[in-house]
Amino acid sequence: DYLWSLYELIQPLPCELIWQTDGRPMSGDIGDGATRACVKLGEKILATDIPGNIQLAGGTNRHTVPKLEALGMLHNRDRTSVSRWVSGIAYGSYARSLLLPVLNELEAMEMMPLNCRSTVTPHTIETVPELLWQAVELADSLVSQIKSPERLLQVI
């Protein structure tokens, strides 16, 4: 009822609507339990049949996509067990934990004495291509689980 009252309040919308659920707010938990809470809330929201896209957050981690696939909650032309699907996943603390080693390496470059550095200007990740591409590959490892060309072909 609460979500529907919000939906009615914001109508009409000139754009797509994204509902971001928060199964376990700011948990940073990497275990399966956090994913269970996150997915359970996603199931509840999908069951309301509220218009818009559902994006999971709060408790998302490496267990999330396999759990969604096992429950048929990701769009796939071979599965019709649910009428609606999860459209996206917000990886907050989990993504930061994956990127932390790359960012720590960048920070270590800043701590080097000036006479040992190749440049005096501060390093940003864009100025260190090898670290930038490590970060891009890590981000891609999360995004491609649900937004890869192969997955898109499954939907078509």
Above 70 in pLDDT, residue 103?
yes
Taking only the tens place, the pLDDT of each residue in 61-78 is: 999 999 999 999 987 655
Above 70 in pLDDT, residue 45?
yes
Closest to 88 in 3D by CA, of 39, 50, 138, 53: 53
Give pLDDT, residue 110. 79
Q: Between 33 and 2, whose confidence is greater?
A: 2
Q: Between 84 and 67, whose confidence is greater?
A: 67
d(CA 36, CA 9): 31
Give pLDDT, residue 61. 92
The DSSP element (H or E) to which 6 belongs, if any, is helix 2-9
Give pLDDT, residue 34. 81
Taking only the tens place, the pLDDT of each residue in 130-151 is: 999 999 999 999 999 988 776 5
> For residues 67 and 39, is the Cβ–Cβ distance under 8 A?
yes
d(CA 45, CA 1): 11
Give pLDDT, residue 109. 86
Average pLDDT, stretch 106-113? 81
Q: Which residue has the tokens 């754009």?
A: 15
d(CA 16, CA 12): 11
Average pLDDT, stretch 115-122? 62
DSSP 3-state assignment of 26?
coil
User: Where would I find the H helices in 13-147?
Assistant: 32-47, 64-70, 93-111, 129-147
d(CA 56, CA 151): 18
Give pLDDT, residue 83. 57
Give pLDDT, residue 117. 59
d(CA 29, CA 59): 6
d(CA 88, CA 50): 16
